[in-house]
Chain A
């Protein structure tokens, strides 16, 4: 065991030995700005504040509400200090936040958590259940949250999502204990995490990811310390078609692992919501465009230093009988990557984040998942060989777009056509990843046809991006109705001389007026 541990430490390299730059929690800002109402009942324990734990976004929402409803004014410095303190002493351990990170990452069209019928109706009718799952309180404090709900929004018991039940009775008598059992304040995970020393993100990183509608990208990142408690990052990235996706970022790491960055990436100003893995070896999450959280990309990063490793092959799908240009993202890959029988690599060229190669795939190369080996490293399922696309699944299968206008931006719908091949023993088949497709929309049903939803709701572009129409009364529609509707989205992939299509359902709906960081 000792030997293994030593070996791991060596492999991890020097960056991992550095503690994070976060200063020790300093309550002075909270004492100065919050204790007027939140009594410091014992040193460092502020009533209510110290009785709950949340994500950085959760605390940001608290500060927003304190400002909007209770008139608390904090300048940027004070706000930063308060946020740092709250996320340090009242954050979530990585394992606690993990199941609901999709909400922090603002992933569009994802399936919410399933917490049973009762939680579904009591919380999930208005919020994502992720929002509840990203908080920790004991029963008395969950009870106080029920009081906050009705105290602040007294119509809650009357609205359609609340009035079919004895909402107040359930919320005050039954739910606090259940929530406290699910999401208690004091947990072993948090005790361990909050007492530990956390890795620093400083160093060189290999980066790869996928931006729906735009494609795969890869490259490198260099992260350096900024000031006493922040980081700056420089990105040298490239889309698969060669377009540069360079950028810079300024970030803070909250709670020892929650990377929150403001970055420019290519032409966009983006927000980064990443998590540094507990061992400090990975930085992963999603970036999204400011003001359009539905537009963004997955982000994966691994340390540039370390033992040889194959992280990803871009693109993942290799068509039999064709030549494919690929990038293998990895460390110490050497010059002879191997993709199994029937696949020959040539023109191998080293890249800062791995290598580039031309793969000739024999017409009779066996379809299926291919392990990829390079430089002694092996990735068991980094690539797939296919001879014929058996199915195309449009993702998301059920999507939402929202009309926009005035102060509320539209929410676009981005679709991708994911190819699949059938395989023995794999009921769902093997995914080939998103493939180039042509796109169209059609009425979802007879009612949509009669209401001419295709005409009124927006337009689909060549990349599978649905751009919703302008919101508001449309005198051309019945009741001067809004430009909402119900569409079928059809994506068609060319597979040699064949075409393979898939269909999804798109609801184009009304604006969302309230857009907090966690829905």
Chain B
């Protein structure tokens, strides 16, 4: 698949844009009780009250070593599991106190283990399944080993060791627990479903071998496992679609892949010839809509499979989420602010700049609803 150079580069080049907007406090008239969680380099974890656009807690994650990435929440919203230490550790931070209550350091002497973004907690909150990419460090060579899934008990404390491991395919970038707690999905070359208990491969469905006639092998890599509002994972997926009378190589096309974690339903829906990059997406709990973000905020009408609205942003954001009532879009990642947008009009409603302008980089923007 190819996106015109200039479009790609312009979009990428905007990723370092500075943000001079100040915090807009005093969001009035909202019944919004959402709490947002984000993280920023080198080691900061933020708890944000979405309604008042204010930070309620700021914590330091021990041993982050300057790098942090994905955030996964415990089902009760008490603990944030954060990938830190250059993908080699997962820290569980209690959100009420900032205390580290869980720690899995994946590497060991002679073996460096990286978690390539993919980890999730089981629906009962008792286990954490982590995708591990191990490399043997020998005196004068690296020996790349086969990847594996490692399952940790979340009550294993600060020196957690895997309770069990089982083989995994290469190049998995996301793990999503199915809501029945019996299995989890791994996204990589294909969509794999594994039994939580014994790691048995239950099913393998298309991503690379997707059943989407007239489309090339697609490209998919989103590392923001946002599902809390709907129980569905929605992500952009790119391919070249054959169009009657169109160019020989096909037309670059953006589709949405939706995986329902309640029942495993998997759908692909085209919605536009690729006109803007989208890094991550989220579905709406109240309307047949999805929202995607990068240097523009995109709203997709998923009932009709078409672009509903798009607005350019001040700079690039990687992460997107939606308020529990579906009225507000939250955007974060990439730089040092969280943006608040009206889900109907895509009008900017507010902005919260993180103190010191730290780099959120790949951090997931998560939502916890407090009724």
Contacts and interface: CB of A to CB of B under 8 A. Distances in A.
Interface of A: 37-39, 47-48, 144, 146-148, 150-152, 154-155, 157-158, 160, 163-164, 166-168, 445, 447-448, 451, 472-473, 475, 477-482, 484, 486, 507, 509-510
A163 B219 contact: yes
Interface stretch (B177-185, B193-201, B298-306, B308-316): B308-316
A203 B211 CA distance: 72
B133 A479 contact: no
Contacts, number: 105
A479 B316 contact: yes
B20 A482 contact: no
A39 B140 contact: yes
Nearest to B315: A480
B139 to A, nearest CB: 5
Contact of B12 (A152, A157, A480, A510): A510
Contact of A481 (B17, B20, B116, B141): B17
Contacts of B11: 479
B10 A152 contact: no
Contacts of B295: 479
B9 A479 contact: no
A141 to B, nearest CB: 10
B114 interface: yes
B116 A479 contact: no
Nearest to A453: B6
B99 interface: no
B31 interface: no
Given A48-B140, A150-B135, 9 more contacts: A146-B144, A147-B144, A152-B142, A158-B173, A160-B219, A445-B6, A479-B10, A481-B10, A484-B10
Interface string B306-337: 00000011111000000000000000000000
Interface of B: 5-7, 9-14, 16-20, 87, 112, 114, 116, 133, 135, 137, 139-144, 170-171, 173, 189, 217, 219, 221, 295, 312-316
B9 A510 contact: yes
A152 B140 CA distance: 13
A491 to B, nearest CB: 23
A507 B1 CA distance: 21
A475 B141 contact: no
A48 B221 contact: no
A155 B116 contact: yes
Contact of B14 (A38, A168, A481): A481
Closest 6 CB pairs of A and B: A151-B142, A480-B17, A479-B14, A482-B13, A473-B17, A481-B14
Contacts of A48: 140-141
A479 B189 contact: no
A154 B134 CA distance: 9
B114 A475 contact: no
Contacts of A163: 171, 219, 221
Nearest to B9: A484
Contacts of A507: 5
A509 B140 contact: no
Given A163-B221, A447-B6, A484-B9, A479 B144 contact: no
